[in-house]
Amino acid sequence: MNKKTYLPKEDAIERKWHLINADGKVLGRLAVEVADILRGKKKVIYTGHIDCGDFVVITNAKKIVLTGKKLDQKTHFTYSGYPGGTKFTPYSVLMEKSPDKALMLAVKGMLPKNKLADRQLKRLKVFKDEKHTHGAQFASKQ
């Protein structure tokens, strides 16, 4: 038997654009869906060590829902590296100030912890409202 594994070349990967309306969707479940599209796991040619994902545009990020008591109990932790440089931001404040950051953090946590994750995360565009700047990518589909 002389069967060979198919590995897609970098120029053979066709990147599509996906528009997702986040109105009323749960943060974690939406992040899983977006991470799979960014990684390319929905494609037949998916290979773990090759970046073959698509672009994702998310609108209405301010209408994302957190279930249970997560809005009050869940916190975002940052550390500056200096003594006393820890910051704990509750998600109730984070969702008020920048819901797009909350979604980006959730998606980033679901991507692989390697060099591919940076390239995949750059293809994610998150907008707070209905308006977005990527209308040209979707104009040909309508």
- Residue 128 predicted with pLDDT over 70: yes
Please give the average per-residue pLDDT across 77-90, as a whole number: 97
pLDDT digits (tens, 9 = 90+) for 13-22: 999 999 999 9
Q: Is the pLDDT of residue 80 over 80?
A: yes
Specify which residues 90 forms β-bridges with.
Answer: 75
CATH fold of 15-65+98-131, please? Ribosomal Protein L13p; Chain: A; (3.90.1180)
pLDDT band of 142, cuts 50, 70, 90: low
Return the H-helix or E-strand segment holding 107: helix 99-110
The H or E element spanning position 77 is strand 75-79
Buried b / exposed e across 65-92, counting CB within 10 Å, b at 16+? ebeeebbeebeeeeeeeeeeeeeebebe
Model pTM greater than 0.75?
A: yes
| For the chain, domain boundaries | 15-65+98-131
Give me the pLDDT at residue 141, please. 61
